[in-house]
Amino acid sequence: GLGVGIVGLPNVGKSTTFNALTKAQNAEAQNYPFCTIEPNKAIVPVPDRRLEALAKIVNPDKIQYSTIDFVDIAGLVRGASKGEGLGNQFLSNIREVEVILHMVRCFEDGNITHVEGDVNPLRDIEIIETELIYADITQCEKKIDKLKKQSKGSKDAAAQLEVALKLMEHLGELQPVKTFEDLDNEHFKALDKELRFLSNKDVIYGANVDEDSLADGGNKYVDELKQHAQEVGADVIMLCAKIEEELVGLEEDEAKEFLTDLGVEESGLEQIIRTAFDKLGLQSYFTAGKIEVRAWTIRKNTKAPQAAAVIHNDFEKGFIKAEVISYEDFVNYGGEAKCKEAGKLRLEGKDYIVQDGDVMHFRFNV
Protein backbone atom coordinates (compact mmCIF):
# COMPACT_ATOMS: atom_id res chain seq x y z
CA GLY A 1 0.00 0.00 0.00
CA LEU A 2 2.87 2.39 -0.59
CA GLY A 3 1.59 3.91 -3.76
CA VAL A 4 -0.07 6.96 -5.22
CA GLY A 5 -3.38 6.56 -7.06
CA ILE A 6 -4.23 8.96 -9.86
CA VAL A 7 -7.92 9.90 -9.96
CA GLY A 8 -10.01 12.56 -11.66
CA LEU A 9 -12.96 12.96 -14.01
CA PRO A 10 -12.58 11.80 -17.64
CA ASN A 11 -10.65 14.11 -20.00
CA VAL A 12 -8.79 16.03 -17.33
CA GLY A 13 -5.33 14.69 -18.29
CA LYS A 14 -4.87 11.58 -16.16
CA SER A 15 -3.64 9.35 -18.97
CA THR A 16 -1.33 12.03 -20.28
CA THR A 17 0.20 12.42 -16.82
CA PHE A 18 0.40 8.68 -16.34
CA ASN A 19 2.12 8.29 -19.72
CA ALA A 20 4.72 10.83 -18.67
CA LEU A 21 5.32 8.87 -15.47
CA THR A 22 5.61 5.63 -17.44
CA LYS A 23 8.20 7.22 -19.71
CA ALA A 24 10.14 8.34 -16.64
CA GLN A 25 9.99 4.73 -15.45
CA ASN A 26 11.21 3.32 -18.74
CA ALA A 27 14.08 5.81 -18.95
CA GLU A 28 15.45 4.23 -15.77
CA ALA A 29 14.18 0.71 -16.38
CA GLN A 30 17.60 -0.88 -16.94
CA ASN A 31 18.46 0.05 -13.36
CA TYR A 32 15.42 -1.71 -11.95
CA PRO A 33 15.44 -5.20 -13.45
CA PHE A 34 13.41 -6.53 -10.52
CA CYS A 35 10.41 -4.43 -11.46
CA THR A 36 7.72 -6.08 -13.50
CA ILE A 37 5.98 -3.63 -15.75
CA GLU A 38 2.22 -3.52 -15.31
CA PRO A 39 -0.07 -1.58 -17.61
CA ASN A 40 -1.67 0.58 -14.93
CA LYS A 41 1.36 0.97 -12.70
CA ALA A 42 4.49 3.08 -13.07
CA ILE A 43 7.50 2.67 -10.80
CA VAL A 44 8.99 6.12 -10.93
CA PRO A 45 12.43 7.34 -9.82
CA VAL A 46 12.32 10.11 -7.21
CA PRO A 47 14.50 12.97 -8.46
CA ASP A 48 17.20 13.84 -5.93
CA ARG A 49 20.03 16.17 -6.86
CA ARG A 50 22.01 15.00 -3.83
CA LEU A 51 22.70 11.70 -5.60
CA GLU A 52 24.29 13.57 -8.48
CA ALA A 53 26.47 15.55 -6.07
CA LEU A 54 27.61 12.32 -4.38
CA ALA A 55 28.34 10.77 -7.75
CA LYS A 56 30.62 13.68 -8.66
CA ILE A 57 32.79 12.74 -5.68
CA VAL A 58 32.64 8.95 -5.91
CA ASN A 59 32.48 8.41 -9.69
CA PRO A 60 30.28 5.31 -9.57
CA ASP A 61 29.27 3.11 -12.51
CA LYS A 62 25.67 4.08 -11.95
CA ILE A 63 23.23 6.10 -9.88
CA GLN A 64 20.10 4.54 -8.47
CA TYR A 65 17.21 6.63 -7.23
CA SER A 66 14.48 5.80 -4.75
CA THR A 67 11.21 4.92 -6.46
CA ILE A 68 7.51 5.22 -5.79
CA ASP A 69 4.55 3.53 -7.43
CA PHE A 70 1.88 5.44 -9.27
CA VAL A 71 -1.34 3.65 -10.17
CA ASP A 72 -3.67 4.90 -12.88
CA ILE A 73 -7.21 4.63 -11.56
CA ALA A 74 -9.30 5.51 -14.59
CA GLY A 75 -13.05 5.69 -14.80
CA LEU A 76 -14.11 7.51 -11.69
CA VAL A 77 -17.31 9.33 -12.70
CA ARG A 78 -20.43 10.69 -11.09
CA GLY A 79 -22.32 7.70 -9.66
CA ALA A 80 -19.29 5.42 -9.43
CA SER A 81 -20.12 4.36 -5.89
CA LYS A 82 -23.51 3.19 -7.16
CA GLY A 83 -21.85 1.14 -9.88
CA GLU A 84 -21.82 3.67 -12.74
CA GLY A 85 -18.90 3.36 -15.13
CA LEU A 86 -16.51 0.75 -13.86
CA GLY A 87 -18.11 1.19 -10.47
CA ASN A 88 -16.83 -0.38 -7.31
CA GLN A 89 -13.93 -2.29 -8.80
CA PHE A 90 -11.68 0.72 -8.98
CA LEU A 91 -12.91 2.20 -5.73
CA SER A 92 -11.18 -0.81 -4.24
CA ASN A 93 -8.04 0.08 -6.22
CA ILE A 94 -8.07 3.45 -4.48
CA ARG A 95 -8.42 1.71 -1.15
CA GLU A 96 -5.00 0.11 -1.67
CA VAL A 97 -3.06 3.32 -2.24
CA GLU A 98 -1.90 5.63 0.50
CA VAL A 99 -1.96 8.99 -1.28
CA ILE A 100 -4.30 10.31 -3.96
CA LEU A 101 -3.14 12.45 -6.87
CA HIS A 102 -6.37 14.15 -7.91
CA MET A 103 -6.01 15.57 -11.40
CA VAL A 104 -8.17 18.61 -12.06
CA ARG A 105 -8.84 20.21 -15.41
CA CYS A 106 -7.75 23.85 -15.37
CA PHE A 107 -7.47 24.30 -19.13
CA GLU A 108 -10.04 25.34 -21.69
CA ASP A 109 -10.07 23.54 -25.01
CA GLY A 110 -13.18 23.49 -27.15
CA ASN A 111 -11.99 20.34 -28.87
CA ILE A 112 -11.83 18.32 -25.70
CA THR A 113 -15.20 17.56 -24.19
CA HIS A 114 -15.72 18.19 -20.52
CA VAL A 115 -18.05 15.50 -19.14
CA GLU A 116 -19.82 18.09 -16.99
CA GLY A 117 -20.13 20.65 -19.79
CA ASP A 118 -17.68 23.34 -18.71
CA VAL A 119 -14.41 23.87 -16.86
CA ASN A 120 -15.10 24.21 -13.13
CA PRO A 121 -12.44 22.77 -10.82
CA LEU A 122 -14.35 23.04 -7.54
CA ARG A 123 -17.45 21.32 -8.91
CA ASP A 124 -15.27 18.56 -10.40
CA ILE A 125 -13.50 18.02 -7.13
CA GLU A 126 -16.77 17.82 -5.27
CA ILE A 127 -18.09 15.16 -7.65
CA ILE A 128 -15.09 12.93 -7.09
CA GLU A 129 -14.82 13.53 -3.38
CA THR A 130 -18.54 12.86 -2.88
CA GLU A 131 -18.10 9.50 -4.60
CA LEU A 132 -15.30 8.68 -2.19
CA ILE A 133 -17.54 9.60 0.75
CA TYR A 134 -20.40 7.44 -0.61
CA ALA A 135 -17.98 4.53 -0.88
CA ASP A 136 -16.97 5.08 2.74
CA ILE A 137 -20.62 5.20 3.81
CA THR A 138 -21.19 1.79 2.22
CA GLN A 139 -18.17 0.32 4.01
CA CYS A 140 -19.15 1.88 7.30
CA GLU A 141 -22.75 0.61 7.06
CA LYS A 142 -21.59 -2.95 6.49
CA LYS A 143 -19.23 -2.73 9.42
CA ILE A 144 -21.95 -1.33 11.67
CA ASP A 145 -24.21 -4.30 10.87
CA LYS A 146 -21.43 -6.68 11.89
CA LEU A 147 -20.55 -4.75 15.01
CA LYS A 148 -24.18 -4.70 16.13
CA LYS A 149 -24.13 -8.49 16.22
CA GLN A 150 -20.73 -8.70 17.90
CA SER A 151 -21.30 -5.97 20.44
CA LYS A 152 -23.58 -8.11 22.59
CA GLY A 153 -20.69 -10.31 23.63
CA SER A 154 -17.76 -7.94 23.32
CA LYS A 155 -16.99 -4.67 25.06
CA ASP A 156 -14.46 -3.85 22.38
CA ALA A 157 -16.97 -4.30 19.59
CA ALA A 158 -19.46 -2.17 21.52
CA ALA A 159 -16.93 0.65 21.84
CA GLN A 160 -16.06 0.39 18.17
CA LEU A 161 -19.74 0.45 17.27
CA GLU A 162 -20.17 3.69 19.15
CA VAL A 163 -17.40 5.34 17.15
CA ALA A 164 -18.66 3.86 13.87
CA LEU A 165 -22.14 5.28 14.48
CA LYS A 166 -20.69 8.69 15.19
CA LEU A 167 -18.59 8.50 12.04
CA MET A 168 -21.67 7.48 10.07
CA GLU A 169 -23.42 10.63 11.21
CA HIS A 170 -20.45 12.70 10.07
CA LEU A 171 -20.33 10.96 6.67
CA GLY A 172 -24.09 11.40 6.34
CA GLU A 173 -23.52 15.15 6.24
CA LEU A 174 -21.23 14.43 3.26
CA GLN A 175 -18.18 15.35 5.27
CA PRO A 176 -14.97 13.39 4.56
CA VAL A 177 -13.49 11.05 7.16
CA LYS A 178 -10.49 13.43 7.30
CA THR A 179 -12.53 16.01 9.23
CA PHE A 180 -14.04 13.54 11.72
CA GLU A 181 -13.53 14.83 15.26
CA ASP A 182 -12.33 11.53 16.73
CA LEU A 183 -9.40 10.76 14.44
CA ASP A 184 -7.19 10.04 17.46
CA ASN A 185 -9.61 7.57 19.04
CA GLU A 186 -8.06 4.09 19.08
CA HIS A 187 -11.32 2.47 17.93
CA PHE A 188 -11.50 4.84 15.00
CA LYS A 189 -7.90 3.99 14.13
CA ALA A 190 -8.74 0.29 14.13
CA LEU A 191 -11.71 0.94 11.83
CA ASP A 192 -9.58 3.00 9.47
CA LYS A 193 -6.85 0.37 9.38
CA GLU A 194 -9.38 -2.30 8.45
CA LEU A 195 -11.57 -0.35 6.03
CA ARG A 196 -8.95 2.07 4.62
CA PHE A 197 -11.39 4.94 4.24
CA LEU A 198 -11.02 6.68 0.90
CA SER A 199 -11.93 10.13 2.19
CA ASN A 200 -9.21 9.93 4.82
CA LYS A 201 -6.30 9.78 2.39
CA ASP A 202 -3.84 12.58 1.77
CA VAL A 203 -4.61 14.40 -1.46
CA ILE A 204 -2.36 16.22 -3.89
CA TYR A 205 -4.28 18.24 -6.47
CA GLY A 206 -2.65 18.27 -9.90
CA ALA A 207 -3.81 21.45 -11.65
CA ASN A 208 -3.57 20.61 -15.32
CA VAL A 209 -3.15 23.84 -17.29
CA ASP A 210 -2.35 24.76 -20.88
CA GLU A 211 1.05 25.96 -22.02
CA ASP A 212 0.19 29.68 -21.79
CA SER A 213 -1.09 29.43 -18.23
CA LEU A 214 2.04 27.54 -17.25
CA ALA A 215 4.20 30.37 -18.61
CA ASP A 216 1.92 32.94 -16.90
CA GLY A 217 2.28 31.16 -13.57
CA GLY A 218 -1.40 30.16 -13.41
CA ASN A 219 -4.93 31.19 -14.31
CA LYS A 220 -8.27 31.83 -12.58
CA TYR A 221 -9.01 28.10 -12.26
CA VAL A 222 -5.71 27.45 -10.53
CA ASP A 223 -6.44 30.34 -8.15
CA GLU A 224 -9.78 28.81 -7.19
CA LEU A 225 -8.17 25.44 -6.69
CA LYS A 226 -5.39 26.88 -4.52
CA GLN A 227 -7.88 28.73 -2.37
CA HIS A 228 -9.82 25.50 -1.81
CA ALA A 229 -6.69 23.47 -1.16
CA GLN A 230 -5.55 25.93 1.45
CA GLU A 231 -8.88 25.60 3.25
CA VAL A 232 -8.64 21.82 3.40
CA GLY A 233 -4.88 21.61 3.91
CA ALA A 234 -3.98 19.91 0.62
CA ASP A 235 -1.14 20.61 -1.81
CA VAL A 236 -1.63 21.95 -5.32
CA ILE A 237 0.90 21.37 -8.03
CA MET A 238 0.46 23.07 -11.35
CA LEU A 239 1.55 21.25 -14.45
CA CYS A 240 0.86 21.03 -18.14
CA ALA A 241 0.49 17.30 -18.71
CA LYS A 242 1.17 17.61 -22.44
CA ILE A 243 4.46 19.39 -21.82
CA GLU A 244 5.44 16.89 -19.13
CA GLU A 245 5.03 14.11 -21.64
CA GLU A 246 7.40 15.89 -24.01
CA LEU A 247 9.88 16.77 -21.27
CA VAL A 248 10.52 13.22 -20.13
CA GLY A 249 11.58 12.35 -23.67
CA LEU A 250 14.33 15.00 -23.70
CA GLU A 251 17.96 14.88 -22.62
CA GLU A 252 18.55 16.57 -19.29
CA ASP A 253 20.07 19.82 -20.59
CA GLU A 254 17.43 20.11 -23.32
CA ALA A 255 14.72 19.68 -20.71
CA LYS A 256 16.33 22.35 -18.56
CA GLU A 257 16.43 24.80 -21.45
CA PHE A 258 12.82 24.06 -22.28
CA LEU A 259 11.77 24.82 -18.70
CA THR A 260 13.89 27.97 -18.53
CA ASP A 261 12.24 29.24 -21.72
CA LEU A 262 8.89 28.76 -20.02
CA GLY A 263 10.16 30.51 -16.91
CA VAL A 264 9.68 27.41 -14.77
CA GLU A 265 12.27 26.12 -12.30
CA GLU A 266 11.24 22.54 -11.81
CA SER A 267 8.90 20.41 -13.87
CA GLY A 268 5.46 19.80 -12.39
CA LEU A 269 5.95 16.07 -12.63
CA GLU A 270 9.11 16.25 -10.51
CA GLN A 271 7.29 18.35 -7.94
CA ILE A 272 4.47 15.80 -7.84
CA ILE A 273 6.86 12.91 -7.35
CA ARG A 274 8.79 14.64 -4.56
CA THR A 275 5.63 15.81 -2.79
CA ALA A 276 4.13 12.32 -3.01
CA PHE A 277 7.31 10.76 -1.58
CA ASP A 278 7.07 13.10 1.38
CA LYS A 279 3.32 12.55 1.86
CA LEU A 280 3.95 8.81 1.89
CA GLY A 281 6.11 9.45 4.94
CA LEU A 282 9.25 8.30 3.14
CA GLN A 283 12.83 9.50 3.06
CA SER A 284 16.14 8.29 1.66
CA TYR A 285 19.51 7.38 3.00
CA PHE A 286 22.46 6.81 0.70
CA THR A 287 25.23 4.36 0.06
CA ALA A 288 28.14 5.69 -1.95
CA GLY A 289 30.44 3.13 -3.55
CA LYS A 290 32.33 2.63 -6.81
CA ILE A 291 29.69 0.31 -8.20
CA GLU A 292 26.77 2.54 -7.43
CA VAL A 293 25.64 5.62 -5.61
CA ARG A 294 22.24 4.71 -4.40
CA ALA A 295 19.25 5.99 -2.47
CA TRP A 296 17.42 3.54 -0.20
CA THR A 297 13.85 4.21 0.77
CA ILE A 298 12.77 4.09 4.40
CA ARG A 299 9.89 5.38 6.50
CA LYS A 300 10.68 8.46 8.53
CA ASN A 301 11.90 7.56 12.06
CA THR A 302 13.38 4.20 11.05
CA LYS A 303 16.21 2.89 13.23
CA ALA A 304 19.55 1.78 11.78
CA PRO A 305 19.02 -2.03 11.80
CA GLN A 306 15.63 -1.76 10.07
CA ALA A 307 17.09 0.70 7.59
CA ALA A 308 19.84 -1.82 6.88
CA ALA A 309 17.22 -4.50 6.22
CA VAL A 310 16.12 -2.57 3.13
CA ILE A 311 19.47 -3.53 1.59
CA HIS A 312 19.52 -7.07 2.93
CA ASN A 313 17.80 -8.98 5.76
CA ASP A 314 21.19 -10.27 6.95
CA PHE A 315 22.29 -6.69 7.59
CA GLU A 316 19.55 -6.41 10.18
CA LYS A 317 20.05 -9.83 11.75
CA GLY A 318 23.80 -9.42 12.15
CA PHE A 319 23.78 -5.67 12.76
CA ILE A 320 26.77 -4.40 14.76
CA LYS A 321 27.17 -0.70 14.01
CA ALA A 322 26.47 1.82 11.29
CA GLU A 323 29.12 4.19 10.00
CA VAL A 324 27.32 7.45 9.28
CA ILE A 325 28.35 10.63 7.49
CA SER A 326 25.80 13.37 6.96
CA TYR A 327 25.18 14.28 3.34
CA GLU A 328 26.41 17.85 3.95
CA ASP A 329 29.70 16.67 5.48
CA PHE A 330 30.24 14.11 2.73
CA VAL A 331 29.93 16.80 0.08
CA ASN A 332 31.67 19.62 1.96
CA TYR A 333 34.69 17.55 2.93
CA GLY A 334 34.82 15.71 -0.38
CA GLY A 335 34.22 12.04 0.43
CA GLU A 336 34.58 9.36 3.05
CA ALA A 337 38.36 9.44 3.63
CA LYS A 338 38.40 13.19 4.22
CA CYS A 339 35.37 12.98 6.51
CA LYS A 340 37.16 10.33 8.55
CA GLU A 341 40.22 12.57 8.91
CA ALA A 342 38.05 15.45 10.02
CA GLY A 343 36.21 13.30 12.57
CA LYS A 344 32.95 13.53 10.65
CA LEU A 345 32.33 9.81 10.48
CA ARG A 346 30.16 8.64 13.37
CA LEU A 347 29.63 5.11 14.65
CA GLU A 348 25.99 4.62 15.55
CA GLY A 349 24.24 1.73 17.31
CA LYS A 350 20.95 -0.08 16.99
CA ASP A 351 18.83 2.74 18.42
CA TYR A 352 20.07 5.36 15.99
CA ILE A 353 17.25 6.97 14.01
CA VAL A 354 18.44 7.34 10.45
CA GLN A 355 18.26 10.90 9.14
CA ASP A 356 17.28 11.96 5.65
CA GLY A 357 20.43 12.06 3.51
CA ASP A 358 22.70 10.06 5.82
CA VAL A 359 25.50 8.33 3.92
CA MET A 360 25.64 4.89 5.56
CA HIS A 361 27.90 1.88 5.74
CA PHE A 362 26.76 -1.07 7.84
CA ARG A 363 29.00 -3.36 9.90
CA PHE A 364 27.42 -6.74 10.49
CA ASN A 365 28.13 -10.35 11.49
CA VAL A 366 27.54 -13.00 8.87
Q: Going by DSSP bridges, is the β-strand pair 282-288/235-239 parallel, antiparallel, or unpaired?
A: unpaired
Candidates 11-19, 53-61, 148-156, 290-298; binding stretch for ligand GDP (CB under 6 A): 11-19
Under the binding rule (CB under 6 A), the answer on residue 31 touching ligand GDP is no
Per CB under 6 A, does 303 bind ligand GDP?
Answer: no
Q: Is 54 helix (H, G, I), strand (E, B) or coil?
A: helix
- Give whichever of 117 and 343 is closer to ligand GDP, judged by the CB atom: 117
Q: Which stretch binds ligand GDP (CB under 6 A): 118-126, 236-244, 257-265, 328-336?
A: 236-244
Question: HEC states along 83-99?
Answer: CCCCCHHHHHHHHHCCE
Report the residue from 3, 5, 13, 45 that binds ligand GDP according to the rule CB under 6 A. Answer: 13
Rule CB under 6 A: is residue 302 a binding residue for ligand GDP?
no
- The binder of ligand GDP chosen from 112, 183, 215, 250 (CB under 6 A): 112
SS3 breakdown of the chain: % helix, strand, coil, rounded to 5?
50, 20, 35
In this structure, is the dihedral angle defined by the CA atoms of residues 286, 288, 289 and 290, taken in order, positive or negative? positive
- Which residue in 3, 8, 45, 357 binds ligand GDP (CB under 6 A)? 8
Chain centroid to CA 355: 20
Contact status: 10 vs ligand GDP (CB under 6 A): yes
Is 102 a binding residue for ligand GDP by CB under 6 A? The answer is no
Question: Is residue 208 involved in binding ligand GDP (CB under 6 A)?
Answer: yes
Query: Least separation, in Å, of the C-beta of 27 and ligand GDP?
Result: 20
Report how far residue 68's alpha carbon sits from residue 275's, in angstroms, rounded to the nearest whole number: 11
Q: Which residues pair with 285 in a beta bridge?
A: 296
For residue 105, the cross-strand partners are: 208
Q: 91 with 81: CB under 8 angstroms? A: yes
Q: Which parts of this chain interact with ligand GDP (CB under 6 A)?
A: 8, 10-16, 107, 109, 112, 208, 210, 240-242
Residues within the annotated binding site for ATP?
Answer: 11-16
